[in-house]
Structure 1
C-alpha cells in the first residue's frame, strides 16, 4: 500500500509540473482602428487592407495556446464616440475567429482612443485577468479623451496589464499622447509608415507581453539632439549568443538582462551615415540601468599636401581592430569624414606621384563627439624629366625607374620620338634611383643603366645618350 501511495504521489507531482509547463500565456487583446480614415491608401492598398492582412498574419504566428481577443472602434456609426465593440472575447483561442471578425469590419466612424482603452481595461478588471493590450491606430483622439490619463489612472488602481501602441501612418507631432499612454502602460510605442513597419511593430509588441520579464536596461538613441530609431541587440560578453533585443522607435527601448556582462550593439536606422556602436554593461542583481547613446560622430578633416600644396590622395580610416570605417578622396582639397568617437589610423595613398614614400599612415587620431580634428600629411617630391637621344635625335625606348638597388620597380613609360613625351616627366620622392633604358640599337636589344638624384621641390631635365 505504501508503495502504491508513493507512486500516486509521484504521478500527481509530475502531472502538476506538466500542467504548469502547459499553462497558457496571458491573453493578448487587440484594439483595432475601424475609423473612416482607414479607407485612406498607402501605395495601392487601403490602410484597412494592410492592417487586416498584417494583423491576421501576426495572430497566425502566435502560439496555439495563446488566448487572443479583439475590440474594434468606429465601425458601426459615423459620429458616435461610444462606438466600441468586443468582437472576440479574450478567452478565445481560435485564430480563425479573429480573421473572420477582421474581414467583416467596415471602417466608418471616429477615433475614441481613450474610451476604447477604458473599455478594454474595465473588461480586465471585471474578469480579474492580466493581459497585454495592443492598440492599432492611424489617427489621434477625435473624441476629447486622454488615453494617457486613462492608462495612468488604471495603473494606479493596480490593474495588471501592459499596453503597446502601434501608430500607423501618423504624422510628426501626432504621437505625443500615444507615447505617453504606452509609457504609462509599461509598454512601447511603435511607429509604422507602411505594411513592413506595421508588421515589425506588431511582431515586437506580441513578443513583449505582460508575461515577459520587465526590462531592466533602457537605451535611448539620439543624433544632433533628436531621437533616432535604432536596433538594440544584447549578447553575452565576448560571444555571439543573443540574449535580448529591441528597437527604439525614437523612444527608450527596454531589454531584460540577467546578472552578468554583456556586449550591446546599437545600430541607427535613420538620420546618420555612420555605423552603429557597441557598449559593454555589467548587470548586477535587481539593478536597473539607463544609457543614452549619441550618434553625434566626430569629424576628421583630412588634409593631403605635396610640398605644402594641396594634392590628390585617397584615404582609408580604420578603427583600432583594423576595420575600415570611412573612405575619401581629397582631389587636392580637405575632405571631412564623420565617424563614431574613438581612436583611428588613417592610411593615405598619394596619386600621380611615384617613389618609396607615396603611402603614409597617420596613427592614433583621437576623435571626440561633436568635434573636428585635422589630420594632415605633407608628401615630398621633386620632378625628373627624362629623355633619350642619339646624335641629337630623339629615340623611342622604354624608360623604367627602380630603387637604387634595382629591386623595386618605381615607375615607367616610353620615350617615343616626340617632344611631348621625350623627355617624359616623373614626379618622384626625393632620393637616388636607378634608371633602366631598354630598346633596339643597330638591330640588337640593348639595355643601359643610369643613376639619378631627385631633390625635394626641384625639377631637372636629363637627356640620356643612347
Structure 2
C-alpha cells in the first residue's frame, strides 16, 4: 500500500509539473528604440517618456508567470550601428527588472533595426525556444540593414517566433519595410501617434503571442472593387470588450478568435469619409476558418452651390439625420464637390461665404442615399450689391458703415470706407431685402452720423453716396 501511495504521488507530481510547463507562456521580447530621435516630442512630452511609461504600464498588466526580455538599441553610442544590448534576459527577466531598465535608458544613437532582430533571433536559435518579439520604433533603419530580409531568412530557417512592429509617430511613406517585416514574422504592423494609441496597440500585441493558435478568422476590405487597407477590431458580441485586431494592408488580415459570437468593426485607413462598418453577430468556429469581406462602397453626394447662377464658395456640413455631429464636410470653392459616406439618411447644411445677410444658410433635411448611389445636391443663393460712400466736396471721408437687419436688429455686416477710391464707396454683397444702414464719420470729419433704409435686389447694384460738409 505504501509503495502504491509513493507511486501515485510521484505520478501526480509529474502530471502537475507537466501541466505547469505546458501552461508556461513563451517569452515576450521587447526591442526598444533608444535612438536619438526619441527625444522628439508629442503633445509636450518626449517620445522616450511616453514610450517608457506606456511600456511599463503594459508590462505591469502581464501575467506574473510571463517571461519578459528587453533589448535596447542606440542607447550607449551615438554612431555605433552595433549598439544593441540584451538589457534584460528572458531567463531572469521580471516586471520590476524590465521597468527599472526602461527608466535608466537614455536615447542617443542610431536605429539598427535589422541588427537588433538578428541579435534576438540568434538567441532563439541557441535556446531553441519560441518567443513573441515586439519591436517599437519611431524611425526607419539607419544602418543599411534589411529587417524584412532578416525576418524572412529566420522563418525559412525554421526559427519559431512571431514579430509585431509598432511604428511610433512614423509617416505613412516610411512604413513599407516595417509592414514587410511584420508580415514575414507572422505578426502585424501597428501605427501609434500618441500615448493613448501606443497604449492601445501594446495592450493588443501582448495578447497576440506566438502561443496563440494560427488565425481562424480572416478579413478583407474593398472599395469600388479595389482592395483597401483597413483595420478590423473584433469585440465580444454586444460589448466594447476588444478581443483581437487585424490589418488588411490591401490584402487579407488574420486573427484568432476562440469559438463564439463577435461583433466586427472595420475602419478604412485610406482617404475616405466612410465611417467604420460594424458587422454584428459573426460566429467563429472550431477547426474552421471563417472569412468576412467588407465593402466600403460608399454613397456619394455631389454638392454644387451657386449665387445668382454663378458657382459660389460655400461651406458644407453633412449630418446623419437626427445627429448633431457631422459625418463629413468641406468647402466647394465655387465648384462641384464630392462627399463620400456610408449609405443612410442625412441632413445637409450649406453656408454661403462672402455674402452677408439673413439668407446665407440653407438646409436640406432627410436625404436618403444607398450604397454605391450618387446623388446631386444643388442650391442657388441670391445676392445683390450695396455700395455705400461718404464724401465732403471732392474729398473722400473715412466712416464706419453698419448694415442691420431691421427685423432681428442683427448687424449683418460692418466695415469702413477709408479715404481710398478702392474702398469708398464700400461694397457689401447682401442677400435680397431691406436693410438699415448706419454711417458714422471718422477723422477730421468726425461727428457726422446718419441712418437710412436701403433695398437690395437680387442681381442688382444699388449705390448710396452721402455728402457731408
**TM-score, length of structure 2 as denominator length:** 0.61
1:394 match: none
2:66 match: 66
Aligned-pair distance for 1:254? 2.6
Larger radius of gyration: 1
- CA–CA distance in structure 1, aligned partners of residues 163 and 98 of structure 2: 19
Deviation string 1:334-374 (CA, Å, 9 cap, x unpaired) is: x9996535xx6899xxxxxxxxxxxx999xx78233x2258
1:177 match: 177
Deviation string 1:170-222 (CA, Å, 9 cap, x unpaired) is: 11200000000000000111101111111111111111111112212222446
- CA–CA distance in structure 2, aligned partners of residues 189 and 157 of structure 1: 22
Aligned-pair distance for 1:245? 2.7
Whether the aligned pair in 2 keeps the contact of 1:230 and 1:268 (CA below 8 Å) is yes
Whether the aligned pair in 1 keeps the contact of 2:246 and 2:255 (CA below 8 Å) is no
1:403 match: none
2:296 match: 295
Equivalent position SS for 2:174:
coil
- CA–CA distance in structure 2, aligned partners of residues 254 and 233 of structure 1: 11
1:52 match: 52
Whether the aligned pair in 1 keeps the contact of 2:111 and 2:140 (CA below 8 Å) is yes
Match of 1:340 among 331, 342, 365: 342
Whether the aligned pair in 2 keeps the contact of 1:40 and 1:47 (CA below 8 Å) is yes
2:374 match: 372
1:135 match: 135
- CA–CA distance in structure 2, aligned partners of residues 221 and 373 of structure 1: 24
1:232 match: 233
1:211 aligns with 2:211: yes
- CA–CA distance in structure 2, aligned partners of residues 218 and 209 of structure 1: 17
RMSD: 4.2
- CA–CA distance in structure 1, aligned partners of residues 61 and 283 of structure 2: 34
Once structures 1 and 2 are overlaid, which stretch shifts more, 180-189 or 219-228? Answer: 219-228
Equivalent position SS for 2:172:
coil
Whether the aligned pair in 1 keeps the contact of 2:234 and 2:262 (CA below 8 Å) is no
- CA–CA distance in structure 1, aligned partners of residues 245 and 179 of structure 2: 16
1:5 match: 4
- CA–CA distance in structure 1, aligned partners of residues 110 and 71 of structure 2: 14
Deviation string 1:135-168 (CA, Å, 9 cap, x unpaired) is: 0111001111110010011001110000000111
Equivalences for 1:5-404 in 2 at 5 Å? 5=4, 8-9=7-8, 12-13=11-12, 16-17=15-16, 20-21=19-20, 23-221=23-221, 227=228, 230-235=231-236, 244-246=243-245, 248=247, 253-257=253-257, 263-266=263-266, 273-279=273-279, 286-299=287-300, 340-341=342-343, 367-369=370-372, 371-372=373-374
1:460 match: none
Equivalent position SS for 2:183:
helix
- CA–CA distance in structure 2, aligned partners of residues 8 and 72 of structure 1: 49
Whether the aligned pair in 2 keeps the contact of 1:32 and 1:136 (CA below 8 Å) is yes
Whether the aligned pair in 2 keeps the contact of 1:300 and 1:367 (CA below 8 Å) is no
**TM-score, length of structure 1 as denominator length:** 0.61
Once structures 1 and 2 are overlaid, which stretch shifts more, 19-28 or 247-256? Answer: 247-256
Aligned-pair distance for 1:20? 1.1
2:435 match: none
Whether the aligned pair in 2 keeps the contact of 1:219 and 1:291 (CA below 8 Å) is yes
- CA–CA distance in structure 2, aligned partners of residues 325 and 102 of structure 1: 42
Change (3 A) 1:154 1:340: same
Q: Any unmatched runs of 5+ in structure 2? A: 304-317, 329-336, 348-364, 378-469
Give the number of aligned pairs: 342
Aligned-pair distance for 1:88? 0.5
- CA–CA distance in structure 2, aligned partners of residues 107 and 324 of structure 1: 45
Change (3 A) 1:82 1:93: closer
Once structures 1 and 2 are overlaid, which stretch shifts more, 293-302 or 59-68? Answer: 293-302
Equivalent position SS for 1:233:
strand
Equivalent position SS for 1:32:
strand
Aligned-pair distance for 1:109? 1.2
